[in-house]
Amino acid sequence: MASSPFLSKTTISFSSSISTSLPWRSSHSSPSFSTAFRTKPRRRNLTVQSKIREIFMPALSSTMTEGKIVSWVKSEGDVLSKGESVVVVESDKADMDVETFYDGILAAIVVGEGETAPVGAAIGLLAETEEEVAEAKAKAKSASSDFPASSSPAAEAVTPTPPPATSTPAPAIAQPSPPATYTPKKTVATPFAKKLAKQHKVDIASVVGSGPFGRITPADVEAAAGIAQPKKTVAAEPTPVSAAPPKPSAAPSASSAPLLPGSTVVPFTTMQAAVSKNMLESLSVPTFRVGYPISTDALDALYEKVKPKGVTMTALLAKAAALALAQHPVVNASCKDGKSFTYNSSINIAVAVAINGGLITPVLQDADKLDLYLLSQKWKELVEKARAKQLQPHEYSSGTFTLSNLGMFGVDRFDAILPPGQGAIMAVGASKPTVVADADGFFSVKSKMLVNVTADHRIVYGADLAAFLKTFAKIVENPESLTL
């Protein structure tokens, strides 16, 4: 049939010229028909062009600002299907597979393995047909020339550390040369510098910036225009040459001490950077700490009974904390804006787990409602996923109360740092034999552990925390309710 070849061409591509290969052209010689027909494909050619889609760096969590490429599951030239895993991305808490939303060919990889990119940046290009692969690769080359500018500050943040090792003022003068590497790509100037350039008729593209990463400052424009140059040279020369080196030399040595021989600088991983950010945020919260000794003889006996069934001590402590929080909801509350606090409807116990290269807190959701054995099974699954860096965002960011247990390491007491957005965190030490005296003055030996709780004093007060710890101690010392 005459229509079948036309249909096959339209499904393959609209980018080619339809008028030269249409089978209808010979059978319809009417000029009105041909002109009317030619106008429609031209409009459709503008809308249906070769499709080169970008694979973006996804936001895998609410706190993620950039991601690191762990590995590319697919290679350039591989044919992809919708929903197929393409790349593994390391977020601030976990490694996650990124899937493609379209069918096509992985034409080019923009961000290689081990490199980082901000959320929303293109990390790869997906072509629709073989003919578009070359075009996508050309596009990737132009994109890759701009991408190192975003990743190079991280690398250059490490390289400036060796110059202080010389402890001489000469490298400090030589350092304005690296910003020149940024200027050829794009002229970056402050708004006031641009205004001065217009006033003094200075070509801002020819000005070499002395600001961070080559940014052009108003002083640079004035120097290019020949204004206030004597002041600059006078201000610049006495500072490093005369009085500045003896006194400021002590300050740089304190803030950026020279590296010792054989030392290496290791940048933070994505997870370590997230932990550092959270720890800095916690400094803005007014906290207080309360310690409470608890007898653990009954808890230890219960643990010996349920241990063969797969129940861990962490699960027992999490269950006890959840039952105590149910009676003291203010300790399970959270304050995020400093103006109000929220009573959380769920009791989600986050438990700190040390993994290779960082720290993460998997969350036992609704821990007060789960059976002890189901809670233990859930905890084992979370630990396995955490160590494999496969936790989903809701499995590590939904905690309302945190438990940190170092008792298995023999630590008898420690203080924990309050995570942002939570009301309290409990630090549990090891249970050790302790000599105690009863009301009649008789001595005996009992196992006791010291529990320290750090709380947000904006919402939890001393009496609230003391009442919570008293309830928690009763549950631990009479743990029958944990198995109900």
Which positions are catalytic? 457
Tell me the residue type at 482: L
The answer to whether 401 and 423 are in contact (CB under 8 A) is yes
- Residue whose token pair is 């080619």: 16
Output the six-digit token pair for 146: 């701009």
Alpha-carbon dihedral of residues 26, 32, 33, 39, nearest 10 degrees? 110
Output the six-digit token pair for 173: 């003068």
Residue 87 dihedral angles phi and psi, to the nearest 5°: -145, 150
Three-state secondary structure call for residue 166: helix
Question: What are the distances in angstroms from CA 393 to CA 215, 418, 477?
Answer: 38, 20, 35
- Residue whose token pair is 């550390």: 161
Output the six-digit token pair for 374: 């189901």
33 CB neighbour count, 10 Å cutoff:
11
- Angstrom distance (rounded) from CA 159 to CA 154: 9
Tell me the residue type at 384: E
- Angstrom distance (rounded) from CA 207 to CA 203: 7
H, E, C per residue of 106-139 = EEEECCCCCCEEECCCEEEEEECCHHHHHHHHHH
- Angstrom distance (rounded) from CA 184 to CA 176: 15
Strand order in the sheet with 52-56: 52-56, 122-127, 104-109, 79-80
- Angstrom distance (rounded) from CA 340 to CA 346: 18
Q: What share of the chain is helix, strand, coil (3-state, %, to 5)?
A: 40, 20, 40
Output the six-digit token pair for 378: 């859930």
Q: Which residues contact 65 (CB under 8 A, 6 or more apart)?
A: 118, 119
Q: Half-sphere exposure of 265 toward its Cβ, with a 13 Å CA cutoff?
A: 15
266 CB neighbour count, 10 Å cutoff:
7
* CA angle, 16 then 130 then 108, to 5°: 125
Tell me the residue type at 296: T
